[in-house]
């Protein structure tokens, strides 16, 4: 008997923007380490040696920093969404397939949230990566594409697949295998 596993793979390029949230005591420690490294804080946050000098068990890398985050699969020629059920590929599509505006009836349940990313004062980390952006799995007795909801975030520059929801349950990423291609830290 085959497992009743629904698996969705997101392949292509991803974009992430995180506004880092600091607590006063932690900010003071970060500033001390940045001063020892003779660089501003927004430059050392993306330096791996910063976390070595920080010597904090709970913050080992940039991924351990707390903050508000926007992230997802970018609508580019390289993006691909694979839907597998019972170890068979059921569907293969692209983000453009999700937002067909010229169709009389939508093929997929898609929610598009339009936003104008106006950044508040703070320190931001921007990253781009390529590869397997996420593999999402859930066990279900029967699969229907109508129960799958795609949440897209539309900004001025790009469209991002932000969330996958199946039967009103947000799917959680089980595996990721990607390569970081761009990283930047800036302050507003």
- The Cα angle at residue 163 between residues 157 and 166, in degrees rounded to 5: 150
Q: What is the mean pLDDT of residues 99-126?
A: 82
Model confidence, pTM: 0.86
pLDDT tens by residue, 43-100: 999 999 999 999 888 899 998 999 999 899 999 998 999 999 999 999 999 998 887 7
Query: Cβ(151)–Cβ(165) under 8 Å?
Result: yes
Average pLDDT, the chain: 91
Q: What is the pLDDT of residue 117?
A: 75
φ and ψ of 86, to 5 deg: 55, 45
Q: What is the pLDDT of residue 99?
A: 79
pLDDT tens by residue, 99-110: 776 666 778 889
Q: DSSP letter string over 19-52?
A: EE---HHHHHHHHHHHHHTTS-HHHHTT-HHHHH
Q: What is the pLDDT of residue 103?
A: 65
Query: Cβ(162)–Cβ(150) under 8 Å?
Result: no
pLDDT tens by residue, 141-180: 899 999 999 999 998 788 999 999 999 999 999 999 999 9
Distance of CA 122 to the CA centre of its chain: 20
Token reading at 19: 């506004």
Q: What is the pLDDT of residue 2?
A: 54
Residue of 22 and 117 predicted with greater confidence: 22
1 pLDDT higher than 50: no
Q: What is the pLDDT of residue 82?
A: 97
């Amino acid at each position: 008997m085959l497992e009743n596993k629904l698996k969705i793979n997101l392949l292509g390029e991803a974009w992430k923007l995180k506004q880092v949230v600091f607590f006063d005591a932690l900010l003071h420690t970060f500033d001390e380490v940045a001063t020892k490294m003779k660089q501003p804080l927004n430059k050392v946050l993306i330096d791996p040696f910063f976390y070595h000098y920080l010597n904090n068990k709970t913050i080992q890398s940039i991924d351990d920093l707390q903050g508000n985050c926007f992230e997802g699969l970018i609508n580019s020629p390289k993006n691909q969404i694979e839907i597998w059920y019972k170890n068979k590929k059921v569907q293969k599509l692209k983000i453009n397939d999700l937002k067909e505006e010229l169709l009389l009836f939508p093929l997929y349940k898609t929610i598009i949230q339009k936003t104008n990313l106006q950044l508040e004062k703070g320190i931001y980390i921007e990253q781009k990566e390529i590869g397997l952006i996420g593999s999402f799995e859930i066990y279900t007795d029967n699969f229907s594409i109508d129960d799958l909801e795609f949440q897209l975030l539309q900004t001025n520059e790009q469209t991002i697949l932000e969330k996958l929801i199946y039967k009103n349950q947000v799917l959680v990423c089980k595996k990721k295998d990607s390569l970081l291609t761009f990283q930047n830290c800036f302050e507003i």
